[in-house]
Amino acid sequence: MLWQLVGMLAVVLGIGASIALHEVGHLTPAKRFGVRVPEYAIGFGPQLLSRTVGETRYSLRAIPVGGFIRMIGMYPPARSPRTGGPLVRMAEEARVDSLAEVGPDDVGRTFYEQPVHRRIIIMLGGPTMNLVLAGLLFAAALVGVGLPNATSTIDSVAPCAVSTTNPKGLPSASGTCVGGPSAAHVAGLQSGMQIVAVDGTPVQDAASLDAALAAVAKRGATDGRVTVVDASGARRTLSIHFQLLTLPTLDASGAATGATERRAVMGVLLAWQREHLPVTVVPRVMWSMTTSAVSALGAFPGKLVTLAHTLVSGGQRDPNGPVSVVGATRIGGEIAASSADGWDKVVSLLMLLGSLNLFLFLFNLLPLLPLDGGHVAAAGWEVLRNALRRRAARRPIDTARLLPLTYAMSVLLIGVGALVIWADIVKPISLGG
């Protein structure tokens, strides 16, 4: 229970830090370009803590589901008064509130007065920070801590012959070996020996050993030779009588595919060591995760419908469906409470937080207001509009006119978030299936 709480706390703090740094990504270029920022906030709703430094109030709010910075002059003055329904009036009130903070000394310091490239840089600062964080977290996991990798060194020798019902080659309750001693035991293989060749085929690691044993099974030969380096450093070649077993074929995740294959086995367990991967692996991992995340975003509406149906019908929840902050926190707790090696838990938690930051990067780039990508899309349209009209000094795009759509999208996002959070409470996804 204690380790589960530790894992949950680690994820909560990690997500909180990601949100805070996302807003720093907006704040830093805004201040660098001279835009006045009255407030930097983590969370929404009532203020819990606040402190003013310079011209910015830094606050912590009660509802920890995001954050924001408030820049003066987010919306330009209206060219003419607008009338309409409640949403139009709300939009105009937001424009008035945005301009109310603009004082006589703020000429050139409003958001709307900035050149379009500066506005794009400010809005992209947050997602870019999440992308950088994702890269750092993946690098810390894969390069810093490293992944467990099986070596060609023998950790232990099975006393009895290996079978599909006795994969570890353990003796029976009476202490006898039902199928006789294992091939490794008969050959004289011992713990600490490093296997360097099988039937003359060089072996450097567990993968090459597996390939060499697959070649033995393909030939159908059972008598062979194993070359080892013992604890004293002496090189020895031992005769061995391999076992040939028909075993299920596994996919990349370790799940049975339903097919079988002929395998040569010796009856040894290999030692593991932690391998620190090169930095060049990180971009490849991030690209692979990005393509998967983009596909997941495309399938998100369908997954959401499936999730709603599952909650109504009480069916089995899709383990690859959407997960909220609540669900990610629970998964972090399960990771910390699992029986895995301590460093493996650290890697899993770092990869989880890295994946969340990568998703935040991609999600915030969606060209929808109120997301950062919506503001970037509006600025991009402004560039295109000016280019088509060949006029460089036109009024900035009036995003206040899009506020009714922004409000509607905000309500939709809140509803989606509430649905996924509720699903993570009443029918959580578990690592154990």
Would residue 60 count as lying in a domain? no
Would residue 71 count as lying in a domain? no
**Domain residue limits at 185:** 150-275
Would residue 206 count as lying in a domain? yes
Task: Say whether both 240 and 326 belong to one domain.
Answer: no
Task: Say whether both 13 and 139 belong to one domain.
Answer: yes
Task: Say whether both 230 and 360 belong to one domain.
Answer: no
Nearest-Å Rg of the Cα atoms of the chain is 30
Task: Say whether both 140 and 8 belong to one domain.
Answer: yes
Would residue 108 count as lying in a domain? no
The SS3 call for residue 382 is helix
Task: Say whether both 13 and 138 belong to one domain.
Answer: yes
- Domain CATH code at residue 171: 2.30.42.10
Domain boundary among 218, 248, 275: 275
Task: Say whether both 137 and 161 belong to one domain.
Answer: no
Task: Say whether both 165 and 137 belong to one domain.
Answer: no
Task: Say whether both 348 and 418 belong to one domain.
Answer: yes
Residue 387 CA, distance from chain mean position: 39
Would residue 225 count as lying in a domain? yes
Task: Record the pTM.
Answer: 0.83
Calpha distance 191→194 (Å, rounded): 9
The SS3 call for residue 222 is coil
Domain boundary among 208, 243, 275: 275
Question: pLDDT digit of tens for each residue in the chain (433 aa)?
Answer: 788 898 999 999 999 999 999 999 999 999 999 999 999 999 988 999 999 999 999 999 998 888 999 999 988 887 766 666 776 777 778 888 888 889 888 999 999 999 999 999 999 999 999 999 999 999 999 999 999 888 899 999 999 998 888 888 899 888 889 889 999 999 999 999 999 999 989 999 888 998 999 888 888 878 899 999 988 889 999 999 998 888 777 666 556 677 778 888 898 999 988 989 999 999 999 999 999 888 888 888 888 888 888 888 887 888 888 888 888 899 899 898 888 888 899 999 999 999 999 999 999 999 988 899 999 998 888 888 877 776 555 677 788 888 888 888 888 888 988 888 898 888 888 776 5
Would residue 376 count as lying in a domain? yes
Task: Say whether both 137 and 189 belong to one domain.
Answer: no
Q: How many domains does the chain have?
A: 2
Is the peptide bond prior to 370 cis by the omega test (within 30 degrees of 0)?
A: yes
Q: For residue 149, what are the β-bridge partners?
A: 273
* Residues involved in catalysis: 23
Q: Could you report how far apart the first and last alpha carbons of the chain are, in Å?
A: 19
Would residue 107 count as lying in a domain? no
